[in-house]
Amino acid sequence: MNEQSPFDIRASACPHDCPSTCALEIERLSDHRIGRVRGAEGNSYTAGVICAKVARYAERTHHPDRLMHPMRRVGPKGSGEWQQISWDDALDEVAEEFLKREAKYGAETIWPYYYAGTMGLVQRDGINRLRHVKKYSGQHTTICTTLARGGWMVGTGSLHGPDPREMAKSDLVVIWGTNAVHTQVNVMTHATRARKDRGGKIVVIDTYRNATAQTADMYLCVNPGTDGALACAVMHVLFKEGMADRAYMEKYTKGWKELEAHLEDKTPEWAAAITGLSPEEIYAFARLYGRTKKSFLRLGYGFARSRNGPVNMHAASCLAAVTGSWQYEGGGAMHNNGGIYHWNKTLIEGLDAIDPEVRILDMSRIGPVLTGDKTDLGDGPPVTGLLIQNTNPMDVAPELGKVHKGFARDDLFVCVHEQFMTETAKMADILLPATTFVEHDDLYQAGGQSHIMMGPRIIEPLGECRSNHEVISGLAKRLGAEHRGFGMTATELIDETLKISGWPDAAALTEKKWHDCMIDFDSAHYLNGFAHSDGKFHFTPDWSKIGPNHEGMPKLPDHWEVIDLADAEHPYRMVTAPARNFLNTTFTPTPTSLKREKRPAVKMHSVDAAAISTEEGAIVRLGNKLGSLLIHVEIFDGLNPGTVIVEGVWPGKFFIEKIGINLLISAEAPKPNGGAAFHDTAVWIRPER
């Protein structure tokens, strides 16, 4: 019981793929029902604030469309004709189909495929234990963080920055390429504290005047994929106008003299022509940034989802090393704090069973993989069996044309474990019902902040739903896969993993609800040196450390023109940014989210709309070499003419022609380590009459 509510309140953590990883308080109405969800006041990062979509989580957990029973496909693939079967029959059939294919093609023909529908360490990553023990094909996990992470790591050498709570002590917070109001609302809590408590300023750099930009003191509206040019011009001004900290650079960085020489002609006038900003806007931002010691760069994922994304991320991260803002509380740069955790994931992921000879397939290239592309498959067997948990590739992966064609293959056997009838679930041969986070035990780690948290089971599993761990263990038994982890409960896995990782054990963590893993100030700010062997920040990046495909990458920060440039045939550059009330395709079944998002739409500048004689609410055809689709127009002048925005990964069924926006996204793997260039697409738009 608690003062706010007459109900039993249980502590948990938000399981969703969001940097905030909020500490939650959940009303438990009965053994089978949750009520309201609130943010924990006592957690210093969450500070009582969560997003609206999770506050109404009961709408999701208790949705009438939740999958409740195992089912076998009876009609043609995707027909939606099912027969309810028992768990034993379902798991037996999956095992039998996998073993049959393994006997014919070898184990690599099976591809366990997952992402971050839940971020719980046990329920998300346990699928890897089955993969490794069975020597199934590996997964190069590129769909989200690869581009941004590589660009960050190449400069600093470690995936961490200052404590994000320090934003409250900053005089200038630069929110760069992340729509925090939509995607990680707690950034705004701490950034606006700086404004309230000390008159700090907020700058937003984005391709459209999104909800976050609308709160900013200064907004820089850039063309997609041009942040490298902006960063170079800002550094040009910092050097020219005496705002570079040469003593800091001499002590802490490598390559600053080459950088200074290289930036000689990277003027604001040069960058203006590339970015769509005016030279004055670039000077104004450079001077504001250069004159503020306590300046905090909050670098998001969005601006790195381009073919030149890693180069742009590195270029942006260089700013803090030029001014030396790293030295001050409330200063420096942060992208993600994943590097502060010292997990031992051997037990959860079966790392002791890895065979380095087994092939690894790029998850962002699931379309080419399933349609037999030799670039991916090499001399190996085709993929003829898929086991899918926590992801919806029929909507979220690039090049949906190939993805859909691949899933429709008659020789492909697909097992999907899901909470809802997603577009991927519809393509299953065997469909298994999954618990939501309040129905299973797990352990969570934040990326955008520094806590680890328990998320214990709060209500009984609904219907016949089972957790990911139960499904993986049930399959392991039938597939003859042996590993200690399959015989343990989720709580036992959590407890042992916490202990071997050097954290408080399960009982202690449950008792204290969360554990703050933030490292000390000097380490967080790299004042004992950066994480490369020479202890320096690298202005001259060694891309070969990030990925094998590094040839031709720039040796210094630059505008790298490998993006899908607009041309006469494709005059617009499209960004597919996140919607506020969805999380990728999660929450697309919930009525409140749907009502608020209305329908898929393309935001166009009024000048662009007039040029093709279209208007608000009209339907246009949007396309490129990969295909085309019909979509409604929304006139929006908060972007540069030539840029168009489609918010939200709407499932295909909401589109007029029943296929989603990723039809137009390329599956080409960016340098140096792959990834998915979701915001880097040149398109044409034609009025539909």
Ligand X SMILES: Nc1nc2c(c(=O)[nH]1)N[C@H]1C(S)=C(S)[C@@H](COP(=O)(O)OP(=O)(O)OC[C@H]3O[C@@H](n4cnc5c(=O)[nH]c(N)nc54)[C@H](O)[C@@H]3O)O[C@H]1N2
Q: Which residues contact ligand SF4 by CB under 6 A?
A: 14, 16, 18, 20-22, 50-51, 54, 185, 583
Is 574 a binding residue for ligand X by CB under 6 A? The answer is no
Considering CB distances under 5 to 8 angstroms, the limit depending on partner class, which of ligand X, ligand SF4, Mo ion, none binds residue 185?
A: ligand SF4
CA distances from 274 to 264, 285, 360 (A): 17, 16, 37
Q: What's the farthest any 2 CA atoms get from each other in the chain?
A: 72
Considering CB distances under 5 to 8 angstroms, the limit depending on partner class, which of ligand X, Mo ion, ligand SF4, none binds residue 118?
A: ligand X
Is 43 a binding residue for ligand X by CB under 6 A? The answer is no
Q: Residue 287 contacts by C-beta under 8 Å, 6 or more apart in sequence? A: 237, 241, 243
Q: Which of 27, 93, 206, 429 binds ligand X (CB under 6 A)?
A: 206
Q: Which of 51, 121, 122, 144 binds Mo ion (CB under 5 A)?
A: 144
Handedness of CA 89, 91, 92, 93 (dihedral sign): positive
Distance, C-alpha 373 to centroid of its chain: 26
- Provide the token pair at 276: 């769509």
Of 283 and 301, which has the nearer Cβ to ligand X?
301
Of 16 and 404, which has the nearer Cβ to ligand SF4?
16
- What is the DSSP secondary-structure string of 441-475? -EEEE-SSS-EEEEE---SPPPTT-B-HHHHHHHH
Is 263 a binding residue for Mo ion by CB under 5 A? The answer is no
Site for ligand X in 64-123 (CB under 6 A): 115-118, 123
Considering CB distances under 5 to 8 angstroms, the limit depending on partner class, which of ligand X, Mo ion, ligand SF4, none binds residue 667?
A: none
- What is the DSSP secondary-structure string of 198-258? H--EEEEEESB--TTGGG-SEEEEPPTT-HHHHHHHHHHHHHHTT-S-HHHHHHHEESHHH
Of 43 and 576, which has the nearer Cβ to ligand SF4?
43
Is 391 a binding residue for ligand X by CB under 6 A? The answer is yes
d(CA 470, CA 488): 10
Is 583 a binding residue for ligand X by CB under 6 A? The answer is yes
Size of residue set near ligand X by CB under 6 A: 58
Is 457 a binding residue for ligand X by CB under 6 A? The answer is no
Q: Residue 233 contacts by C-beta under 8 Å, 6 or more apart in sequence? A: 266, 267, 268, 270, 271, 272, 282, 286
CA-wise closest residue to 591 among 183, 211, 58, 180:
58
Q: Provide the minimum distance between the beta carbon of 576 and ligand X in the complex, in angstroms, as a whole number.
A: 3
d(CA 622, CA 687): 9
Is 643 a binding residue for ligand X by CB under 6 A? The answer is no
- Residue where the block lists tokens 């029929």: 394
Is 253 a binding residue for ligand X by CB under 6 A? The answer is no
Q: Provide the minimum distance between the beta carbon of 281 and Mo ion in the complex, in angstroms, as a whole number.
A: 30
User: Amino acid identity of 294?
Assistant: K
Torsion-angle region of residue 250: left (phi > 0), alpha (psi -120 to 50) or beta? alpha
Of 46 and 389, which has the nearer Cβ to ligand SF4?
46
Q: Which stretch binds Mo ion (CB under 5 A): 140-148, 207-215, 436-444, 617-625?
A: 140-148
Is 143 a binding residue for ligand X by CB under 6 A? The answer is yes
Considering CB distances under 5 to 8 angstroms, the limit depending on partner class, which of ligand SF4, ligand X, Mo ion, none binds residue 21?
A: ligand SF4
CA distances from 95 to 123, 125, 474 (A): 20, 20, 10
Interface residues with ligand X (CB under 6 A)?
17-18, 115-118, 123, 143-144, 177-179, 182-183, 205-208, 210, 222, 224-225, 227, 300-303, 305-306, 389-392, 396, 417-420, 422, 434, 468, 575-580, 582-586, 649, 661-662, 665, 678-679
